[in-house]
Amino acid sequence: MCPPAETNGTNGHVNGTVNGTNGNHEGYSAIQTNQNPHPHSSSPYRPVGDFLSNVSRFKIIESTLREGEQFANAYFDLEAKMKIAQALDDFGVDYIELTSPAASEQSRLDCEAICRLKNEKFKTAKILTHVRCHMDDARIAVETGVDGVDVVIGTSSYLREHSHGKDMTYIKNTAIEVIEFVKSKGLEIRFSSEDSFRSDLVDLLSIYSAVDKIGVNRVGIADTVGCASPRQVYDLVRTLRGVVHCDIETHFHNDSGCAIANAYCALEAGATHIDTSVLGIGERNGITPLGGLMARMIVADRDYVLSKYNVKKLKEIEDMVADYVEVNIPFNNYITGFCAFTHKAGIHAKAILNNPSTYEIINPADFGMSRYVHFASRLTGWNAIKSRADQLDLQMTDAQIKLCTAKIKALADVRKIAIDDTDSIIRAFYHNLHSQEERPLLEGLSAEEVKKFQIAEEKEKAELTGTKEKRQLEEQVEAEAEVPATKKTRTAAVA
């Protein structure tokens, strides 16, 4: 398992950026590997190109300051909102969506302030606000200085009966009224159903067709309760793509763990815009995470992602938002998690050292991150130990490294070891090869641990060379040492 988190003076987790990397990995070693080409040749399982697919031309509507405000721990004051909005613009998102200015007086003031910030400092992002499909909300929204208004209303039987109580005729007429009003102000307008995947298909296509005809910029599909599967998403978006000419925005909740997969399938089917939030925060389990979407899309089209988005800013944004909402970044978080580019098993380490593409589909350098090899464990291999010895500037032959590795693995079978323990063994082993003065491999072992170590070491060496060949390996190591051994044994020097 990964080492326990150590606080770093930010939000109490080990994910703070250290010299542009993904944190201080105690017990791990950041490694230099052979050149990492990360070829992006076509997969044999890749579908035939589809002219409707927008995998290579999607846009992001970043909703941390709208959907993210609905996260249980979220409270963003104006200063926090300004910093997050500026960071998202620096990242390169296409739109930033804000909480409805009709929600509260402070929400209206915040919306106006961020619009002013956008006019003064933003490079790319446009500002949207998300309101109910109601003329009162629309009138407030258009006065704030936003570039566009996103209107939404529930269309499923659940929401029509238990939320707003309106029928589809009312919904259609109100939607047309609000859309025409917002368009008259020269602003972008999106109409979205809510709870789309539990809505009647005929109702959905009917209202989407009606708003498309009057010139809405986008229609939205929302998996409000997180019930949709990728196949359902593909079918609905593909069907809708044949009905409307405008752009298609999609909003996926992550209650059943499908938000990223659903977003990708939506793009394959012809959707144009994906709603995200930093770390996926939002109502309940949140929505498609910005970092998770970047992980998926950089695999699909690396050139497009790197040309459009400043992905090296991802960790900075995630750390900022994590601090504001007082959460730890998960150990297995996409791209920036503690273990995202960490390798432990010996067979993995060997391949990674030769060519990182063997066990990494994403190049951590694209995101300003580092890869790590965990070499302080019973799973380590001699290639990882050789890499660590090189970092310590201790040159040994392969045979010597293999014998040293056997000792490290043996100790790891006795107790949990840290990077300092492993380094001590490597240094002591190297010293003993080149000096008449025998040095213990590791200080402070109890008599019981010494005994267990010796038993484990014998087994490790037997595994390494075969019982009959064990002594031959030791003799080879001794012969390669600069100072021939004069002691009876080197293997017991542990206490």
The amino acid occupying position 6 is E
**Torsion over CA of 135, 140, 143 and 145, rounded to 10 degrees?**
-110
pLDDT at 346 over 80: no
Cα–Cα distance between 453 and 346 in angstroms, integer? Answer: 20
Res 393: pLDDT: 79
Please give the C-alpha separations between residue 274 and each of 115, 288, 357, 380, 399, in angstroms, as whole numbers: 22, 8, 28, 41, 54
Contact indicator for 55, 48 with CB cutoff of 8 Å = no
pLDDT bucket at 14, cuts 50 / 70 / 90:
very low
The residues assigned a catalytic role are 348
Res 11: pLDDT: 39
Specify which of 46-60, 364-378, 449-463 reaches the highest per-range mean pLDDT. Answer: 46-60
Contact indicator for 364, 50 with CB cutoff of 8 Å = no
Q: What is the DSSP letter of 492?
A: T
97-111, 166-180, 356-370: least confident range: 356-370
If phi over 0 gives left and psi between -120 and 50 gives alpha, with beta otherwise, what is residue 280?
A: left
Map out the domains of the chain with their CATH numbers.
50-325 (3.20.20.70), 342-373 (no CATH), 382-480 (no CATH)
Res 483: pLDDT: 62
Closest among 362, 449, 456 to 409, alpha carbons compared: 456
112-116, 158-162, 327-331, 361-365: least confident range: 158-162
Cα–Cα distance between 143 and 112 in angstroms, integer? Answer: 9
pLDDT at 82 over 70: yes
Position of tokens 């998770």? Answer: 292
pLDDT at 232 over 90: yes
% of the chain with per-residue pLDDT over 70:
76
What pTM value is reported for the model?
0.77
More confident residue, 100 or 342: 100
pLDDT bucket at 3, cuts 50 / 70 / 90:
very low
pLDDT bucket at 27, cuts 50 / 70 / 90:
low
Contact indicator for 263, 226 with CB cutoff of 8 Å = no
Res 225: pLDDT: 95
Handedness of CA 202, 203, 207, 212 (dihedral sign): negative
| Residue 139 Cα to chain centre, angstroms | 38
**Torsion over CA of 156, 160, 162 and 166, rounded to 10 degrees?**
170
pLDDT bucket at 388, cuts 50 / 70 / 90:
confident
Residue range 71-85: mean pLDDT, rounded: 97
Res 7: pLDDT: 38
